Chains A and B, each alone.
Chain A
Amino acid sequence: MSAGGRRGDAWQHRFPGFSVVGQSQHWDEATRKVVLARLEPPKPITSLPEEVRPAGVALVAQLVAVDADFAFALLSSIDARLAANETDGWHYDDMPIDHDAWKRSLAGLDEDATRSTGHPFAELTEDEQHEMLECLRTSSAHSWHGMPPARIWNLWTRYVCTAYYAHPSAWDEMGFPGPAYPRGYKNRGVDAREPFEVADRQPHMDPTVSSAP
């Protein structure tokens, strides 16, 4: 499985030849088991109800710009957390427990999309989906389907970023070598690299500037 995103995006190729998984023989056994399991085919979704899954896949695909297969795999790992009640250890007192907040917010996306276009969220065009989500992110409303929109956005991005940035292909994209035990690092300091690290070939590509349209 590979990270999606549109081909030719320069930022996907800043660390040519860098492969985190290619170094897995240097990891400890416990870590190897946990990280490599993320490359296995995704487990079926069991906890989120069937009717909200398409919206879930579309939402995840939007939030971290991945294709539908990858989004399904990420949603499946989120679903596994929700099934095991493996939360971050807290929820806002004006929000339901995480599992219910996910279920209700995905249903909310479908409801809104259907009301305005006659189609569920997953069947909107990518641009329409993007616009709907951006509206929600910037909304100052107190309540969206009974929950504060800012809290919903926080819940989604926390779970989705955790799932995506736990994936070795995400680390490849950012030059981060992942697990580091028992090998550790020997060359530290500004512009110092280990033999297994790859230099950024676009060090001046400051995304805070270049992403402006």
Chain B
Amino acid sequence: MSSLRAVRERNESAWLIPSDQRRVNAALRDSMRHYDESEEVDLVVVGCGAGGSTLMQRMARHGWKIVGFDAGPFWDPEHDWVSDEAGSHTLYWTDPRTIGGADPVPLGSNNSGRGVGGSMVHYAGYTPRFHPSDFATATNDGVGADWPFDYDALESYYELIEQELPVAGQDWPWGRPHSYPQTAHPVGGNGELFQRGAAALGIETRVGPVAISNGRFGHRPHCIYRGFCLQGCKVNAKASPLITHLPDALAHGVEIRPDTMVTRIGFDERTGRATGVHFIRESEGVERFQPARMVAVAGYSIETPRLLLNSATDRRFPDGMLNDHDLVGRYLMVQGAPQTAARFDAEVRMYKAPPPEVSSEAFYETDPTKPYKRGFSIQTVSPLPITWAEHVSAQGDWGRDLREKMSDYVHWATLGALCELLPQPDNRVTLSEEKDRFGLPVAHFAYTQCENDKQLIEAAGTAMTHILHAAGGTDAITFQRYAHLVGGARMGRTAEDGVVDGDCRAFAVPNLMITDGSVLPTQGSANPALTIMAVAARAADRLAARS
């Protein structure tokens, strides 16, 4: 296929990993470039996740000298990851954080990764696009915010990233209709029941879109349908920047410094410019400094605001870097993600497939007949035993009742919704009194739902219950939870309205960028990783064009 050749020419990552069971190209890592701390590099990137890695890969191709920092390890999937829930806790951000507000949002395994590859190492793998309406909810619906650019500005970047991950799925009828580079995967029991129930009610579903290779892609093998996507894909079938963008970045001279926490952004009060980053290596415990011509922060929606707030300066930024208009940490969003499960006499065995299989965006847009604005999407989710126990115990069961209900696991199918909860200024990160092991104040995340949010969550639970009943399921139960984080340092048209502009450049410091999920002004009801990568790829193009 000629399009495969085009992918390889612009991003060779999938061809740079070994084709056998060794999941890591050791030679590539061993020969990685190392920059001296006395040398000013062109760019340092804080966080090697979805946004940070995409930016690095793109700018390395323009010949930039780059160092990428990540607080967590440089993973080796074969040796570091396990096919086991409890054994996978090292993938999550488990350094302390505190949560509050009227509807506190649990963090860690629910939404925050740690290590090279970022949260996509343990994300599920759904990669839908946003809809055109997501870019102008303030104008169209009178809620949320407008982006500084529209869907058209992002469309070609969606296409590029979808080819590089690559994404498998059926032709997509919602938002701006489009197709995917790979055909859809076969579905398992959970997906089958979702399709059956939705069809009975006349609700459209589609298989995908998932960033899980359907067939060989470069040297990456086909998915083996083992269901442990959230524990890190040992097979290298599920996309994360560790295998989709960083191998190519390394081959183009990027240095990755894993197990290294960036503690503060360096700043020159005289010139008003960022000078580099202060950092602590896990193995050393002392603070060092890496000078750079440009700094990009990509630590995700909790750690990015925390780092900016921890980088306050005496004169220019006494309330936190880039915080002139009290926007840093605000408008942080999560999606309401209720999960509804129902019982079938047949065996569903929902663990036997990637949890992401089938979706519906039939409820995505504002429905004028409803009292609420915006909408939700519905997707298959397939909780493994520990997560399933959380569902069951949330119904009030414990002891023998819990054990008995858990013994029924193979009979249950589970759907999850993603509800577009609205951006609100008081849903925010601030610094807590509590300190982490480096002595840095930890993040406090306050979250409270508004009335629209509550109505959406309720409607989504009802829709999923109807679908499962229509499929023949009984005893439906709904478990309330949240998924994904975006916002916290949003982009805007002006400095009063955003921390960065549409090119991810800080309004207040000319050589500082933010290129991760925290810049998103709204979240739609789509999973965010694809959009985060597309926004970063666009920002890289704009940066290269300016330089």
Q: Report if A and B associate in a common complex.
A: yes
User: Which among A175, A189, A208 has the greatest number of chain B C-beta atoms within 10 A?
Assistant: A189
Q: How many chain-A residues does the 8 Å CB contact rule pick out?
A: 71
Identify A188's interface contact among B84, B188, B235, CB under 8 A.
Answer: B188
Residues of chain B contacted by A174 (CB below 8 angstroms): 385, 406-410
Q: Do A184 and B225 touch (CB < 8 A)? A: yes
Q: How many chain-B residues does the 8 Å CB contact rule pick out?
A: 76
Identify B228's interface contact among A62, A137, A181, CB under 8 A.
Answer: A181
Q: Do B347 and A35 touch (CB < 8 A)? A: no
Q: Kindly report which residue of chain B lies nearest to residue A66, judged by CB atoms.
A: B403
User: Which among B228, B399, B407 has the greatest number of chain A C-beta atoms within 10 A?
Assistant: B407
Identify B475's interface contact among A87, A192, A206, CB under 8 A.
Answer: A206
Given contacts A30-B82, A35-B87, A189-B188, contact A161 B390 (CB under 8 A): yes
Residues of chain B contacted by A164 (CB below 8 angstroms): 389
| Chain B min CB distance to A76 (Å) | 14
Q: B96 interface residue, CB < 8 Å from A?
A: yes
Q: Do A34 and B404 touch (CB < 8 A)? A: no
Whole-angstrom distance between the alpha carbons of A183 and B227 in the complex? Answer: 12
Residues of chain B contacted by A178 (CB below 8 angstroms): 83-84
Q: Do B407 and A197 touch (CB < 8 A)? A: no
Q: Do B385 and A92 touch (CB < 8 A)? A: no
User: Given known contacts A203-B346, A206-B474, what 6 new A-B pairs fall within 8 Å (CB)?
Assistant: A11-B403, A62-B399, A133-B398, A173-B406, A190-B346, A191-B189
Per-residue 0/1 for A144-179: is the Cβ within 8 Å of any B Cβ (1 yes, 0 no)? 000000000000011001111110001101111011
Given contacts A34-B87, A165-B406, A207-B408, contact A185 B227 (CB under 8 A): yes
Q: B285 interface residue, CB < 8 Å from A?
A: no
Whole-angstrom distance between the alpha carbons of A130 and B400 in the complex? Answer: 11
Residues of chain A contacted by B22 (CB below 8 angstroms): none
Q: Do A28 and B347 touch (CB < 8 A)? A: no
Identify A207's interface contact among B79, B80, B405, CB under 8 A.
Answer: B405
Q: Do B346 and A34 touch (CB < 8 A)? A: no
Residues of chain A contacted by B401 (CB below 8 angstroms): 207, 211
Q: Do A88 and B404 touch (CB < 8 A)? A: no
Per-residue 0/1 for B386-406: is the Cβ within 8 Å of any A Cβ (1 yes, 0 no)? 101110010010111111111
Whole-angstrom distance between the alpha carbons of A162 and B389 in the complex? Answer: 8
Identify A197's interface contact among B235, B349, B384, CB under 8 A.
Answer: B349
| Chain B min CB distance to A32 (Å) | 9
Closest 4 CB pairs of A and B: A89-B108, A184-B224, A166-B86, A180-B226
Q: A53 interface residue, CB < 8 Å from B?
A: no
Per-residue 0/1 for B475-509: is the Cβ within 8 Å of any A Cβ (1 yes, 0 no)? 10000000000000000000000000000000000
Whole-angstrom distance between the alpha carbons of A64 and B97 in the complex? Answer: 28
Residues of chain A contacted by B84 (CB below 8 angstroms): 31, 34-35, 166, 178-179
**Which segment of B98-106, B322-330, B369-377, B530-538 sits at the interface?**
B98-106
Residues of chain A contacted by B126 (CB below 8 angstroms): none
| Chain A min CB distance to B356 (Å) | 14
Identify A93's interface contact among B78, B86, B99, B112, CB under 8 A.
Answer: B99
Q: Do B403 and A64 touch (CB < 8 A)? A: yes
Given contacts A173-B403, A174-B407, contact A92 B347 (CB under 8 A): no
Residues of chain A contacted by B388 (CB below 8 angstroms): 165
| Chain B min CB distance to A110 (Å) | 20
Given contacts A166-B86, A184-B224, A207-B405, contact A94 B100 (CB under 8 A): yes
5 residue pairs bridging A and B, Cβ less than 8 Å apart: A89-B108, A90-B107, A93-B100, A165-B385, A181-B235
Residues of chain A contacted by B410 (CB below 8 angstroms): 174-176, 200
Whole-angstrom distance between the alpha carbons of A133 and B343 in the complex? Answer: 28
